[in-house]
Amino acid sequence: MSALGPPIIVAANRGPVSFERDEKGELVARRGAGGLATALIGALQEARGIWVAAAKSGGDREVAAGSEGGRIDMHAYGATYGLRYLDIPPEIYDGYYNGISNGVLWFVHHYLWDTPRTPSFGEGTERSWAGYVAVNRMFAQALAEEGDRTRSEPAYLVQDYHLAMVPRFLRELRPQALIAHFSHTPIAGLTYLRTLPGKIREGVLRGMLGADVLGFHSQMWAENFLMSARSLSGVRADLARSRITVEGREVMVRIQPISVDAGPMRAAAATQEVRDRQHELNRWRGNNRLILRVDRLELTKNIARGFQAYELLLKRRPDWRGRVRFLALLSPSRMDLAEYRTYTEECLAEAERVNRELGEEDWQPVEVRVKDDYASVIAAYGLYDVLFVNPVFDGMNLVAMEGPLLNRRGVLVLSRNAGAYWRLGRHALAVNPFDLREMADALETALEMPQAERARRARGLSRLVLTNPPQRWVGRQIEDLERVRRRRASAQTS
């Protein structure tokens, strides 16, 4: 993708950097974690594009307040792209982010509600929804303004469920805009989506349909959206062609799995810090086989059932006691929400119970470490015999891709409900994340798998990840929007 291509404007709740004070008290830009920033930054740099985001930290707001219109000149920080922060009033942002994005949309798309008890939508939901709509309008207005400043019609890349209504609002402001929206989460099927109040359900679906191209990580989520969109009046969905017709426009539904960047991970694996961590982990492991999980303490990750499946394996196969260890590297997530604090306590209690019931004086079956520790994660990736990835539902799951890049003999046990399964499943051991027996069987098979098959599967996983670099994910979205542009130009001249 060259600088001669269309200008690129990205919209995401979180920016590519976060401004914080260093030890000298100076504001510095720290690169954001996660696959989204990694995937998009290269394209933005090359196209000298713009990233529009909400100001989240105090440093973000301070920088935004000291700039014209929240626009930050990133050249001062060694970057060639632009950044615009939206300083959203806290009470509005809380409704948009905690009330709807995380409290409603995250829960519905991951099938997380205990429906006999939750949810119950009331006046609080109405207020939060008003905040969600308001913030999505703010983003759309900012994107339209940035589009007015570009040399030609830009490609708008709108990211995720936080900004589901932005495509529609931006379409109202710029009818000829080239808009892609990408969903990084699962998409709930129509039956479960009907849990939502009609105003929210229709608002989200019609909001996304304002785009020209809708991207999803896997076939499962794309099909769910197509079926849900088909339920709306005035909308025709062609499932065979993955096309939707709405208001005289055609919307393409595309499967565009994101990936991870091997270079930085392999560079980190070669550092002395990571080698030291590997020595420490090897001393701790001893002669035991190693089952590894790397997760945020997130309701979707199915951590407690993972411990229970491992427990079932040890009870059925007592000969594995004292010969295998389960290392869980967990990082805190959304600890300001009561559900997440409770879930963290439940996961830790489950691990303690397994250790209490099955542990021995010189061997504990489970080791849980709760800390953001990238060096330890990279070190553990190079050592595992089994990588256990069993989310109840997951848009993609990058852990399933990261591990095989650094491990040539480990086996991936992977939930069929992870978006990564759609791409990696043939080289993994697939499991139903709700079936303890099936997960225990898969762990047993992985531990006892012959070396030749382990190596063959590991090579296959690594090859699939390496052949789909993050830049390709961005490039495909730009190519799809370019097709839309050519189609419009052809229609105008015919």
Percent of the chain predicted with pLDDT > 70: 98
CA distances from residue 37 to 4, 41, 261 in whole angstroms, order as listed: 22, 6, 11
User: Looking at residue 35, what is its pLDDT?
Assistant: 61
* Contact criterion met (CB below 8 Å) for 389 and 329: no
What is the mean pLDDT of the segment spanning 324-351? 93
pTM given for the model: 0.93
pLDDT tens digit string along 223-235?
999 999 999 999 9
What is the mean pLDDT of the segment spanning 417-443? 97
With CA atoms as reference, report the closest residue to 401 among 276, 294, 317: 294
Residues forming a β-bridge with 330: 295, 370
CA distances from residue 434 to 3, 248, 267, 300 in whole angstroms, order as listed: 48, 43, 37, 12
User: Looking at residue 2, what is its pLDDT?
Assistant: 43
Task: Please tell us whether the domain made up of 262-467 is placed in CATH 3.30.110.30.
Answer: no
Residue 96 has pLDDT above 70, yes or no: yes
* Contact criterion met (CB below 8 Å) for 387 and 410: yes
For the chain, the average pLDDT equals: 93
What is the mean pLDDT of the segment spanning 482-493? 89
Residue 159 half-sphere exposure, CB side, CA atoms within 13 Å?
A: 21
Task: Report the run of H or E that residue 10 belongs to, with start and end.
Answer: strand 8-11
| Pairwise CA distance, residues 477 & 489, whole Å | 19
Residue 218 half-sphere exposure, CB side, CA atoms within 13 Å?
A: 21
User: Looking at residue 156, what is its pLDDT?
Assistant: 97
Matching fold, domains 8-258+471-487 and 262-467: yes
User: Looking at residue 1, what is its pLDDT?
Assistant: 42
Sequence-distant (6+) residues with CB within 8 A of 274 are 268, 375, 378, 379, 382
pLDDT tens digit string along 23-34?
787 777 777 655
Structurally, at CATH architecture level, domain 8-258+471-487 sits in 3-Layer(aba) Sandwich (3.40)
pLDDT tens digit string along 165-194?
999 999 999 999 999 999 999 999 999 999
| Pairwise CA distance, residues 11 & 44, whole Å | 12
Sequence-distant (6+) residues with CB within 8 A of 242 are 222, 226, 252, 253, 254
| Pairwise CA distance, residues 358 & 364, whole Å | 8
* Contact criterion met (CB below 8 Å) for 413 and 446: yes
Residue identified by tokens 């099938």 is 111
Higher pLDDT, 57 or 387: 387
Residue 333 has pLDDT above 90, yes or no: no
User: Looking at residue 33, what is its pLDDT?
Assistant: 56
Residue identified by tokens 């091997």 is 262
Confidence at 447, pLDDT banded by 50, 70, 90: very high
- Residue ranges covered by each domain of the chain: 8-258+471-487, 262-467
* Contact criterion met (CB below 8 Å) for 390 and 305: yes
